[in-house]
């Protein structure tokens, strides 16, 4: 059976993480040829590549904070696959720092969070725009977080970075229209392998504070990305929540 993304090419940055790998698999199962974008996780990228259904999938290294690296990636995509229709900006970084502990929120961490989470979105979009402009159905999906609106998360710089991502989504949607749609997918707490390794009582408390009574699954975030790409064809500049209603609590 034909998939909704047959003939399309997608790039997922940060593809080896818990959410990124789920997005990669979902887009590949929907028929897309997927570029697994990674920075240092070469082995994980190769392992992910081996799990994908048949297609012209590739794993390619690129640092989203390095514009020259991104330009090289764009060149490889054009050479190997000839087109790009979907860009998923999923690369991100953070570190747990209590919000009141401003001394522990050192300058290096702030700079790193902003460079990857915010500048990386702009840089990847800029590098891939010439390819996306040639598509007849180009979409950029930025992976955000409810921390953008709740101001609760791993640290205050991370929360600010995700608020910036949602703002970028709106600005880019206006700037790149009508050729390229841009949306944010905004998860709540997602039960990735990293989160599963945290204190069980804390995880249970987070689930109780979520109206739907549980944490999200990476596959549910991936389903929202697929919907934004394949189904919501008249949607741009929007923030799509995948959070179990957590901001309502």
Q: Which one from 27, 148, 153, 158 is the annotated catalytic residue?
A: 158
Residue 1: pLDDT over 80: no
Residue 232: pLDDT over 90: yes
Residue 6 is predicted with a pLDDT of 97
Residue 196: pLDDT over 90: no
Across residues 54-78, what is the average pLDDT?
97
Residue 158 known to be catalytic: yes
**Does the bond joining 84 to the residue before it have cis omega, within 30 degrees of 0?**
no
Residue 2: pLDDT over 80: no
Residue 234 is predicted with a pLDDT of 98
Domain boundaries, the chain: 9-238
Q: Determine which of 13-27, 190-204, 211-225 has the lowest per-residue pLDDT on average.
A: 190-204
pLDDT, one tens digit per residue, over 95-149 is: 999 999 999 999 999 999 999 999 999 999 999 999 999 999 999 999 999 999 9
C-alpha distances (whole Å) from 76 to each of 5, 79, 93, 224 are 21, 5, 25, 28
Measured CA angle at 33 (ends 126, 194), to 5 deg: 75
The fold of 9-238 is: Rossmann fold (3.40.50)
Residue 195: pLDDT over 90: no
Residue 239: pLDDT over 70: yes
CA 93 to chain centre: 11
Residue 93 is predicted with a pLDDT of 97
Across residues 148-157, what is the average pLDDT?
96
Nearest to 13 by CA among 117, 138, 100, 131: 117
Percent of the chain with pLDDT over 70: 100
- Provide the pairing of β-strand 180-187 with 239-242: parallel
Calculate the average pLDDT of the chain.
Answer: 96
- Provide the pairing of β-strand 86-89 with 239-242: unpaired
Residue 181: pLDDT over 70: yes
Residue 85: pLDDT over 70: yes
Residue 184 is predicted with a pLDDT of 98
């Amino acid at each position: 059976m034909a998939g909704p993304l047959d003939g399309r090419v997608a790039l997922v940055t940060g593809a080896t993480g818990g959410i990124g790998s789920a997005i990669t698999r979902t887009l590949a199962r929907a028929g897309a040829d997927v570029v697994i974008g990674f920075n240092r996780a070469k082995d994980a990228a190769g392992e992910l590549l081996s799990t994908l259904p048949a297609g012209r999938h590739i794993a390619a290294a690129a640092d989203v904070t390095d514009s020259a690296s991104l330009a090289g990636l764009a060149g490889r995509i054009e050479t190997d696959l000839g087109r790009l229709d979907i860009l998923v900006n999923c690369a991100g970084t953070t570190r747990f720092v209590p919000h009141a502990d401003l001394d522990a929120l050192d300058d290096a961490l702030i700079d790193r969070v902003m460079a990857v989470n915010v500048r990386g979105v702009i840089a990847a979009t800029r590098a891939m725009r010439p390819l996306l402009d040639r598509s007849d159905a180009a979409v950029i999906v930025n992976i955000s977080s409810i921390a953008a609106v709740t101001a609760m998360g791993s640290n205050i710089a991370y929360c600010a970075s995700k608020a910036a991502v949602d703002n970028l989504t709106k600005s880019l949607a206006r700037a790149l229209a009508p050729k390229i749609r841009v949306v944010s997918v905004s998860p709540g707490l997602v039960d990735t392998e990293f989160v599963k390794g945290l204190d069980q009582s804390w995880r249970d408390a987070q689930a109780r504070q979520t109206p739907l009574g549980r944490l999200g699954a990476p596959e549910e975030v991936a389903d929202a990305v697929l919907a934004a790409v394949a189904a919501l064809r008249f949607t741009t500049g929007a923030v799509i929540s995948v959070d179990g209603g957590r901001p309502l609590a």
